[in-house]
Structure 1
Amino acid sequence: MNISILFVGAVKDGGFNERALSGVERLHDTSNAQLTVVDGIPYDPMKMSDALSGAAQHSDGVVFIGGQGNQITPAVAQAFPNCSFAVVQGNIFADNIASYDVLQEQSAFLAGVLAARLSKTGIIGHLSGHRVVPGLKGRAAFVAGARFAHANIRVITGFCGTQDDSAITEAWASAMADQGVDLLFTMLNAARTGATKACRATGMRQIGNATDWSAKDPDVFAASALARIDLGVERAITDMLAGKRPATVQKLGLADKAVGLAYAPDISMALHSHIALIANQISEQKITVDTHYAGPEFSLETSE
């Protein structure tokens, strides 16, 4: 079986995409399928649709990585009814579409708890790029977690429009620091480099996402909201190879060890234990993670 896996932006981004790629690479070694990676696709609806259609023309199945696939996959799947489609971080399904969702919002909620507990200014931030469903849910969950920990915490949150342009994220992160943010949660790809540069310049700590940034750079990263996107990719490809097409969104979260929080060495064990208890309550559905946000939005223009 010939399966194409599509990535928007750089695949070696040190974060979301690269974590997803590791799932593809593991299956290269364990399956007989022909897996073809298509990366560097611009975040543009027409170009994403063209790339998806092009892959469908010569593939038995196509896996789209990222919530961007929710908008463009239905029309392409309808045009290629004999091809199987899957969206990782998807929330859509049809006769030839399956969706797999690693619940980043659960680890984002925990990141919000930690940020609120660590903040000395009482002002924390969130910065992401594209306004796609998983990113919006992650933002809402981060805010909910912060307010679960401290009802009066102030959260400055914005989407800068890019996952990969570090000059833009550096400017946004610096502007948030100017507003008093001392803990910044980032949901970015290659553009995390710019936010990290701003953190070094301002002394702001950062909480990363997808992979363990706190192990790579503990001076800047207080923690990371882990998201095993690779597990969603493996499940999507494995189901496709087996001819399975789940009729509901397949969700992987804390109970599946697909998400969690990793910490820098200077974070106290007391906080580890406190947040572990909250994680257990989420896993046992005793705490509901809010995935809707209707508050104010930050932008460079409004900060001036």
Structure 2
Amino acid sequence: MKYTNPNATYLTTFTGNQDDAVLSKKVAQAEINAGADIIFTMLNNARIGVTEANRESGTYQIGNVRDYYADAPDVYIGSAISDAGQTVYTAIKDLTERKWKAGVVVKIGASNTDAVRLALSPTVSKEIEDTMLELSKKSLMEKLKFP
């Protein structure tokens, strides 16, 4: 993150196919060859290709939607968890409590830790975990701006 490392380089790639593991491995290898040491993935079946590239190169991955650490503890240092079920739960709760209103958009985000949270590998240091928690709080209070 540029906030903690202004010299960090960010690479972004969209493969156009979330299920092609061979393609995702090639893309991950290219990013690793370009200097990436952590890859954040938003893939379906293609995730295994990135995991193989990480394992072969000794680099890391951050998963999404659920905690992937148990799948590959040597590769996953964290997961950005997004529990879409919270949207259904909130809608049903609002309906049963007669708070639901047609045409009203209810945003569920990082302030709701049941819906959005970060799971970290036990190998992540306490110092890094504390820094991430501090940055998360600053972000929620809008004291940290993202371009």
Regarding TM over 0.5, the answer is yes
- Aligned-residue Cα RMSD (Å) equals 2.3
The alpha carbon displacement at 1:255 in A equals: 1.7
Aligned to 2:68: 213
1:261 and 1:198 map into 2 onto residues whose CA distance is 23
Pick the structure with more helix per residue.
1
> 1:282 aligned to 2:134?
no
Cα shift readout 1:248-270 (whole Å, capped 9, x = no counterpart): 43211222112121111111011
What aligned pairs does 1:121-132 form with structure 2 within 5 A after superposition?
Answer: none
Aligned to 2:34: 179
Call closer, same or farther: CA 1:255–1:178 in 2, change over 3 Å: same
1:251 equivalent among 104, 107, 111? 107
What aligned pairs does 1:237-248 form with structure 2 within 5 A after superposition?
Answer: 244-248=100-104
Matched residue type, 2:107: K
Structure 1: unaligned runs, 5 residues or longer: 1-145, 291-304
TM-score, reference length from structure 2: 0.85
2:139 touches 2:145 (CA, 8 Å); kept in 1? yes
1:219 and 1:279 map into 2 onto residues whose CA distance is 25
Matched residue type, 1:288: K
The alpha carbon displacement at 1:201 in A equals: 1.6
1:218 touches 1:265 (CA, 8 Å); kept in 2? no
1:207 touches 1:224 (CA, 8 Å); kept in 2? yes
Aligned to 1:193: 48
Instruction: Report 1 or 2 for greater relative contact order, CA contacts < 8 Å, sequence distance ≥ 6.
Output: 1
1:285 and 1:217 map into 2 onto residues whose CA distance is 34
TM-score, reference length from structure 1: 0.43
Aligned residues: 145
1:199 and 1:178 map into 2 onto residues whose CA distance is 11
2:82 equivalent among 227, 231, 243? 227
1:265 and 1:252 map into 2 onto residues whose CA distance is 27
1:272 and 1:255 map into 2 onto residues whose CA distance is 18
Higher Cα radius of gyration: 1
SS for the counterpart of 1:169 is helix
1:287 and 1:273 map into 2 onto residues whose CA distance is 16
SS for the counterpart of 1:181 is coil
Structure 2: unaligned runs, 5 residues or longer: none
The alpha carbon displacement at 1:284 in A equals: 2.2
Q: Percent identity?
A: 33
Cα shift readout 1:20-63 (whole Å, capped 9, x = no counterpart): xxxxxxxxxxxxxxxxxxxxxxxxxxxxxxxxxxxxxxxxxxxx
Call closer, same or farther: CA 1:249–1:243 in 2, change over 3 Å: closer
Aligned to 2:128: 271
The alpha carbon displacement at 1:215 in A equals: 3.6
2:91 touches 2:100 (CA, 8 Å); kept in 1? no
Q: Which runs of 4+ in 1 moved over 4 A?
A: 236-243
Pick the structure with more strand per residue.
1
1:239 and 1:289 map into 2 onto residues whose CA distance is 32
2:65 and 2:90 map into 1 onto residues whose CA distance is 17
